[in-house]
């Protein structure tokens, strides 16, 4: 029997079901819904005919009301058009839910690009060890960014999740109830969401999707490729911009940054608490129950409220879980050991941070804030900077910036911009103390134009009171076509600086560089932006290798095509040896999060595709 094409499977399992379930809207006991559902197809036909005749939208709408509702007042016309929009919004939700429910049928979850497929190919070609070695080092980092207009509110996401499950079971009674609930649920709030609200909306995906899909992938690799042995490599990292991205949202404050980091920590602890309660139902053995009960109490304490002092850590939780594992293995025949290993792996992967909160600010704001701070310090007699600092050459300024160390007292600064900028840097320290270093250890400089931009940020970090060294990666973001051309020169200058090189040694000789897409598109067009990024990567790879630095490229792509999105895994699989790609880092934006990573199945599938793109490029080119 010939296998069905993907399009055929889509038509049978998505389109056909949508047509059936969409008819349920017509039977809902709401007058406004049934009337709207009857009139909308008529409006659709008139729109099609009107556009084909070259009529403008106003003429088309007027023609519709003339034919169908001639006696409507202006207010009634507006209300009906608004109901059309509401009705279509709910149809889109229904379609999304059906598409989510059918994802593992439409897509081959063990097919080309999945880990299982690649493992079998590697093993058949006797490349098992090469695959293991590659996965010891290779890493994918996806960074979630907020475009609030492209997100459903939490209430609607919950309905979609429940609809997904009901559709999989063809539970018509529940589906009809959920559609009724959908008809009565508000899609948009009247008040514009705050940066914290945006973060909370996005954390829903971390809590309900990525927490499970990432661990499922890691568990598969550990069991089937590493054959039960632990890897020090987390393989998949999650990053987070809402609440930390000042360039993307000027309303982000230091308090919001701290609040979002706290929300991330409490959310991952809540998930651990749920998992440990489940473990207690299975690991009912003497010695193990006591360990799990103690952990449950300690974790719950920090889920329900924030404490100034945290008396529990990732290391402590792992230590206790490993004790429990030892008892289960030695005394209870490893009963339910997979469930226990799953929780251990989640704690190793997500720590107390869940996702790393990136701080991002524009280089021009940094420069103004830094210039004002230096002026302020000189005026009060501080000797950190020479009095003639502002008149020195860029080369001399960079030399001074690379040597400064200490802790600036924010209270003595009089410039508001300087205070806000230094507060955001001090927030990094606070977050690291509460969530661990991975809680916030990256500072991104947007619109980076020069080596001075990097060194000013480096100096501010060194003036924020870190004791031994700065556990933060300084990440320049090159965006315009001109800046992409100059990126090699900029990085050569900072690589030559002895103190910055010392910093890189403390960061495992790795330098992350972000290359933006959308600004390059505005500046030079789609093709020019892609070509500029490609040539910049080649040049930056060459200069970094020359200085013994492993460059990691962080791509500002992963949204719609106009912002660099598309077949991302194919893009990475196509990279040649002239571009460093031991890690894949990219932003995932707005609708791409919900469409590509909105469910456990789609998230697992697309994360595996990203992982496999690196494996194809390195391991499988040896196989072929």
Average pLDDT taken over every residue of the chain: 89
In eight-state DSSP terms, residue 245 is: B
The band of 622, judged by pLDDT with boundaries at 50, 70 and 90, is very low
C-alpha 608/C-alpha 239 separation (Å) is: 17
C-alpha 1/C-alpha 12 separation (Å) is: 17
Domain endpoint, select from 536, 556, 576: 556
Report pLDDT for 523: 54
Residue 595 lies in a domain: no
Nearest to 562, CA basis, from 519, 610, 513, 607: 519
Percent of the chain whose predicted confidence (pLDDT) is above 70: 91
What's the pTM? 0.90
Domain endpoint, select from 533, 556, 579: 556
Domain endpoint, select from 500, 523, 556: 556
Please check the confidence at residue 92 and state whether its pLDDT lies above 80.
yes
The band of 614, judged by pLDDT with boundaries at 50, 70 and 90, is confident
| 23-27, 37-41, 85-89, 291-295: which is most confident | 291-295
In eight-state DSSP terms, residue 583 is: E
Q: H or E stretch including 237?
A: strand 236-240
Query: Which residues share a beta bridge with 475?
Result: 444
Alpha-carbon distance values, 484 to 262, 450, 480, 493 (Å): 36, 11, 6, 15
Mean pLDDT calculated for residue range 255-276: 97
| 169-178, 304-313, 394-403: which is most confident | 394-403
Domain of residue 543 covers 358-556
Q: What is the pLDDT of residues 189-214, one digit of tens each?
A: 667 788 999 999 899 999 999 999 99
Mean pLDDT calculated for residue range 271-276: 98
C-alpha 1/C-alpha 8 separation (Å) is: 15
Q: ∠ CA(610), CA(231), CA(351), 5° rounding?
A: 80
Q: Which one has a higher pLDDT value, 162 or 531?
A: 162
Residue 205 lies in a domain: no
Residue 474 lies in a domain: yes
Residue 542 lies in a domain: yes
Q: H or E stretch including 137?
A: helix 128-137
CA count, 13 A, side-chain hemisphere, 307: 11
The band of 562, judged by pLDDT with boundaries at 50, 70 and 90, is very low
Nearest to 539, CA basis, from 474, 479, 490, 476: 490
Residue 175 lies in a domain: yes
Which of 247-251, 310-314, 516-520 shows the lowest per-residue confidence on average (mean pLDDT)? 516-520
Report pLDDT for 147: 63
Q: What is the pLDDT of residues 512-541, one digit of tens each?
A: 999 986 554 455 566 777 788 989 999 999
Please check the confidence at residue 31 and state whether its pLDDT lies above 70.
no
The band of 23, judged by pLDDT with boundaries at 50, 70 and 90, is confident
The band of 146, judged by pLDDT with boundaries at 50, 70 and 90, is confident
Size (the chain), residues: 624
Report pLDDT for 566: 47
C-alpha 500/C-alpha 504 separation (Å) is: 6
Tokens 């339910």 belong to residue: 336
Mean pLDDT calculated for residue range 279-286: 96
Residue 294 lies in a domain: no
Residue 116 lies in a domain: no
Mean pLDDT calculated for residue range 477-501: 96
Q: Which one has a higher pLDDT value, 431 or 564?
A: 431
Q: Are 27 and 173 in contact (CB under 8 A)?
A: no
Kindly give the residue spans of alpha helices, DSSP state H, lying in 145-287: 154-168, 172-184, 195-205, 211-224, 254-282
Mean pLDDT calculated for residue range 6-11: 92
The band of 231, judged by pLDDT with boundaries at 50, 70 and 90, is confident
Percent of the chain whose predicted confidence (pLDDT) is above 90: 64
The domain tally of the chain equals 2
Q: Which one has a higher pLDDT value, 490 or 577?
A: 490
Q: What are the DSSP calls for 380-438, one per residue?
A: TT--SS-TTGGGS-HHHHHHHHTT--SB--GGG---HHHHHHHHHHHHHHHHHHHH-GG
CA 485, distance to chain mean position in Å, is 28
Residue 432 lies in a domain: yes
């Amino acid at each position: 029997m010939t296998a069905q094409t993907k399009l055929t499977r889509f038509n049978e399992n998505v389109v056909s079901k949508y047509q059936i379930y969409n008819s349920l809207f017509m039977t809902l006991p709401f007058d406004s819904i049934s009337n709207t559902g009857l009139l909308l197809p008529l409006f659709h036909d008139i729109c099609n005919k009107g556009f084909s005749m070259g009529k403008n939208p106003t003429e088309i709408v007027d023609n519709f009301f003339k034919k169908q509702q001639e006696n409507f007042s202006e207010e009634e016309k507006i209300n009906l058009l608004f109901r059309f929009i509401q009705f279509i919004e709910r149809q889109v939700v229904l379609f999304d839910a059906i598409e989510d429910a059918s994802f593992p049928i439409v897509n081959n979850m063990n097919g080309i690009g999945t880990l299982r497929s690649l493992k079998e190919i590697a093993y058949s070609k006797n490349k098992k060890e090469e695959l293991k070695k590659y996965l010891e080092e290779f890493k994918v980092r996806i960074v979630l960014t907020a475009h609030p207009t492209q997100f459903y509110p939490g209430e609607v996401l919950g309905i979609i999740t429940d609809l997904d499950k009901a559709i999989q079971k063809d539970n018509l009674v529940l589906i009809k109830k959920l559609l009724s609930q959908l008809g009565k649920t508000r899609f948009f709030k009247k008040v514009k969401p705050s940066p914290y609200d945006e973060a909370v909306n996005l954390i829903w995906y971390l809590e309900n999707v990525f927490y499970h899909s990432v661990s499922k992938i890691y568990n598969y690799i550990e069991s089937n490729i590493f054959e039960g042995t632990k890897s020090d490599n987390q393989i998949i990292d999650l990053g987070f911009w809402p609440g930390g991205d000042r360039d993307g949202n000027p309303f982000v404050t230091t308090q919001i940054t701290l609040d979002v980091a706290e929300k991330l920590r409490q959310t991952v602890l809540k998930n651990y608490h749920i998992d440990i309660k489940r473990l207690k139902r299975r690991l009912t053995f003497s010695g193990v129950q006591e360990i799990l009960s103690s952990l449950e109490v300690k974790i719950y304490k920090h889920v329900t409220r924030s404490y100034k002092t945290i008396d529990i850590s990732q290391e402590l939780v792992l230590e206790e879980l490993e004790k429990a594992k030892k008892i289960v293995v030695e005394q209870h025949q490893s009963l339910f050991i997979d469930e226990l290993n799953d929780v251990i792996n989640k704690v190793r992967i997500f720590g107390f941070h869940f996702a790393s909160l990136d701080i991002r600010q524009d280089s021009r704001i940094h420069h103004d804030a830094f210039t004002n701070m230096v002026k302020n310090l000189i005026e009060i007699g501080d000797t950190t900077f020479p009095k003639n600092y502002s008149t020195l050459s860029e080369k001399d300024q960079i030399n001074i910036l690379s040597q400064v160390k200490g802790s600036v007292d924010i209270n003595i600064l009089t410039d508001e911009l300087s205070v806000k900028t230094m507060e955001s840097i001090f927030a990094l320290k606070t977050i690291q103390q509460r969530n661990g270093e991975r809680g916030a250890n990256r500072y991104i400089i947007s619109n980076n134009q020069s080596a001075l931009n990097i060194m000013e940020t480096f100096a501010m970090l060194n003036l924020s009171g870190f004791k031994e060294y700065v556990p933060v990666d300084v990440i320049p973001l090159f965006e315009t076509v001109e800046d992409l051309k100059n990126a090699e020169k900029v990085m050569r200058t900072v690589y030559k600086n002895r103190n910055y090189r010392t910093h890189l040694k403390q960061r495992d000789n790795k330098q992350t560089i972000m290359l933006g897409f959308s600004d390059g598109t505005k500046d030079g067009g789609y093709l020019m932006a892609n070509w500029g990024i490609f040539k910049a990567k080649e040049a930056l790879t060459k200069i970094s290798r020359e200085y013994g630095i492993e460059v990691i490229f962080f791509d500002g792509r992963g949204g719609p095509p106009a912002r660099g999105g598309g077949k991302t895994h194919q893009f990475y699989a196509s990279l040649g040896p002239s571009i460093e790609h031991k890690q894949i880092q990219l932003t995932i934006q707005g609708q791409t999060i919900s469409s590509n990573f909105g469910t456990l199945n789609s998230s697992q599938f697309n994360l595996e595709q990203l992982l496999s793109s690196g494996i194809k490029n390195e391991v499988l080119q040896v196989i072929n």
